[in-house]
Amino acid sequence: MSSAGANEFGRLERVLVKRARAAFGSPLAIAAEWRALGFTAPPDFERAGAESERFLELLAGAGAELLEAPRDETLSLDSIYVRDASVWTPRGLVLCRMGKPARAGEPAAQGDFLRAAGVPVLGAIEPPGHLEGGDVVWLDEATLLVGRGYRTDDEGIRQLRALLGSEVAVTAVPLVHWRGPGDVFHLMSILSPVDADLAVVYSPLAPVPLREALLARGMALVEVPDEEFDSMGANVLALGPRRVLALAGNPVTRARLERAGCEVLLYEGQEISRKGGGGPTCLTRPLARG
């Protein structure tokens, strides 16, 4: 197994994204879907489009090649959060099986698009298993963490472990109930590695064994304060080691990242992030890191 880039913090070289206009479709589609999907409010179509354009400009400006998923009328507003439908591995993508029923069509659609773009697909999570990409975090080429919560179950983790083989240690991380099965709560809601020895963490909801394991690896932790958890302070995308893209409006977390030696780029995400509960890691599916 080639292990190059099997982490969450190497220089971002290639990434799958979906423009807000392609995901949201129209104001009418937003009005029809947002409540059932659990958005806190309907995104404004025009403002969402502008936020999305700026977000993609920041990714491209950091040197990443953007693969843009097309509009698909069979998918929902949630399809803007492309990370969840697949898991990147050095041997190819694993297509997920969504724990949120309204998102069931996303993995197959993403797989079709990426295969056509020349991205290899290793396999797929099959019934009765469930796995979502927001629960999967590479620490290094041999160490993968998978959040066990309401969106990812034991059978999904078992299948992922079988696909990866013995070269990768897959550790299940039990997640807390928090706001229950109707809410989105992934492992990356509380953990974002931003370098080999640095991670952003919301410790009050982090399982003790997870926090201990990170510290045992020699990782320093950027602690997110209580008042910045709901505004996705812990959801930070590494563009490269200690170079990060974060949602604006979390000044304490930003200051702590900067004190840890990070360059912090910000984007406005009221429409594309806050209302749908998906930060910069959710909006991206990294496909290659240097």
CA distance 276 to 264: 23
How many C-beta atoms lie closer than 10 Å to residue 231's C-beta?
A: 18
Taking only the tens place, the pLDDT of each residue in 45-83 is: 999 999 999 999 999 999 999 999 999 999 999 999 999
pLDDT score for 5: 64
Structural contact between residues 48 and 271, judged by C-beta atoms closer than 8 angstroms: yes
CA distance 8 to 239: 9
Taking only the tens place, the pLDDT of each residue in 106-131 is: 999 999 999 999 999 999 999 999 99
Structural contact between residues 114 and 93, judged by C-beta atoms closer than 8 angstroms: yes
Mean pLDDT of the chain: 96
Total-model pTM: 0.96
pLDDT score for 184: 85
Among left, alpha and beta (phi > 0; psi -120 to 50; other), residue 25 is left
Give, in words, the CATH class of 12-289: alpha beta
Among left, alpha and beta (phi > 0; psi -120 to 50; other), residue 164 is alpha
Q: Where are the domains of the chain?
A: 12-289
Q: 111 versus 6: which is more confidently predicted?
A: 111
Per-residue pLDDT at 232 exceeds 80: yes
Residue at token pair 């099965």: 181
